Amino acid sequence: MRRWKVTASDLYKLAVANMQRLWEGVVEPVQDMIFEMADDQMAEEYGVFLEENEGAREMPLYVLTNAIRLNGASVLFYTDCLKSFADSVEEIFLYCQAVSMKYC
């Protein structure tokens, strides 16, 4: 880094800017992600479950990730991505499901 005359802070800022430019942040309902990832039978069974259990939709869960769904937790470093989402809902609770996933 000395050779390039950049600081760790400069490198961090460039990395965050590049990540935001290349891989847009995405906040979507967890139900949508389950349907997208599931095979046809599982998606159908999950749909039936949601229809039969209205309470399952009363507390919506959201997934915060990036457009390519790889290392999605890095989106937490994006400028105002989480804040924009938080401003659009009444309450927010962060729950770390795994190292690379955040559920709200």
User: Which of the listed ranges 33-37, 52-56, 71-75, 95-99 does the model predict with the highest average pLDDT?
Assistant: 71-75
Nearest to 26 by CA among 65, 84, 68, 61: 65
104 pLDDT above the threshold of 60: no
Residue 29 pLDDT: 84
| 38-54 confidence digits (pLDDT tens) | 777 777 887 788 788 87
Between 42 and 103, residue with greater pLDDT: 42
76 pLDDT above the threshold of 60: yes
- The answer for 59, left when phi > 0, alpha when psi is -120 to 50, beta otherwise, is beta
b/e per residue 10-33 (b: at least 16 CB within 10 A): eeeeeeeeebbeebebbbeeebeb
Residue 73 neighbours by CB under 8 Å, 6+ apart:
99, 100, 101, 102
Give CA separation, 58 vs 11, 42, 50, in Å: 42, 22, 11
Residue 9 pLDDT: 93
Between 104 and 8, residue with greater pLDDT: 8
Between 12 and 102, residue with greater pLDDT: 12
| 43 vs 64: CA distance, rounded Å | 21
| 18 vs 38: CA distance, rounded Å | 31
